[in-house]
A and B are shown apart, each in its own frame.
Chain A
Amino acid sequence: MDSFFLSIGVTLCIMMLLALYRAISGPTAIDRIMGVNVIGTKTTILLVLIGTLYHRVDMFVDIALAYALLNFIVTIGASRYFQHHKNLKARGYGYRFRAEEDK
């Protein structure tokens, strides 16, 4: 059962790396907030998985709960900050060359 949970955790880490692509090269700022939110939810579950692997879930479940609270507050605060930015520009690594093509 331990190797099963280990493989599930490694697969979750790979999916977090894939979601990190959206968090780095999202066209607008709110796409990046969305990517960070998805990574945070995956991290909450990964913490409980790590606790199951170490047979210390009673310690890791508190960390996971605190991480879920922190992730929620970060998402709410960042999205309130960007709420009234008119004309969010699509900028970033993936869009540097595409903007030149549009001109």
Chain B
Amino acid sequence: MKDTPRHFTTQLAVIGSGIAGFAASIFALNRKIAIAQVGNSGALAYTTGYLDLIGKRNDAVVSDPWQALAKLRESEPKHPLSRVDAGDIQRAFTEFTDFLGACGLAYSAPGAGNITALTPVGTLKQTLCVPATMAAGPRALTANSPCVIVDFKGLKGFSGVELAANLRERWPQLTTQRIGFPGMERGEIYPEVMARALEVATTREQLAEALNAVAGTATVIGVPAILGMHRPDQVRAELKRLTGREIFEIPTMPPSVPGIRLRELFQQVLPQKGVSLIPQQKVTSLSFDGDGATLALRDAFGPIRIHAQAVILATGRFLSGGLDAHPAGIREHLLDLPVTQAADRADWYRARYTDPRGHPINSAGIEVDDSFRPLTREGRRYHERLFSAGVILAHQDWIRGRSGAGIAIATAFKAVTEAERFLAGRQAMFPGAPPVQCH
């Protein structure tokens, strides 16, 4: 019995549950495409909540990502961001952040320039969109507002002293204080636990009291990212009211609360909107025939088969399991698609870890055509029904370019647009085909 597969039929199957996978589902949802999404979303918890487009180029800080994008098109035409229309990238970010905002996680809209955002060690990074809970930090930095960073006894890896020491020149009015977290005064404490505790009104009141006791003349208070899990904007507004001061979050070391918020939001909202989401399972095989694609996977109740008209492969790199690094070479995990890579393992990494040029292994990935369909060794489409998005694509170093979310969101937008065009073509050929079935 338990080995009888359950069958799902859908228009679009999205494989992968990182930013690219969820962005693809959101774009498809907005286009009334029936979706099934599968893949482990663990790596989402490692994101900071910042949505970067291009933060760095050739080791230089980028304050205008749109201008950097134009230059990228000239110097790196194979870069995935060079292959998506700039207007589409802007539309993609707007659509993505609007969706998050409508679901209760407000984000700043993509602007004309980057935002100079704070890191947990007091360095600065350029990013395009930040969660509303973090927006007051960059503003206070720019204005040199009197600000106190409040950190917590027992929360390791986050030091207000370190932030202030490294920001002193840039932000002379920055000071720091350490307090105990209400109800967790002894031993080690964790951001996720603190965030969930702040969903409770009495904890917020106690924290506000403790913040007021140390804030002195500061008009702005910075805290590690712990301001609630499901209603962070309300938690922040409430603390702002109780302290009479502007409040903002600073990302912590991963796993971080802003990443967990995104994951929990997607997992809660997408099924409510009709996405068949199977988030904690990996697809074990993907095959194509004349009628469509078949994904095989298994959950606690037994095997599952998903039949889809089109598939978006957004399985990420090594951390998310889209690519496997073997001693003999890098391989794409699911279909063994050809991976563009250095000829020799010895050339994967440069001698120095923090080399600003980045490591050649980071630019390895799969090749796609202009419709973002993966290519075979011979340079032909692997299948007309297969599209790909995200950092699995070759010719980009999202880490050195500070462009992880940008590549994910932009290419997901492009892949969904192309998949929609393909589905519309099929629909024209087979009118009346049901958009989705579950049996």
Q: Do A and B bind each other?
A: no
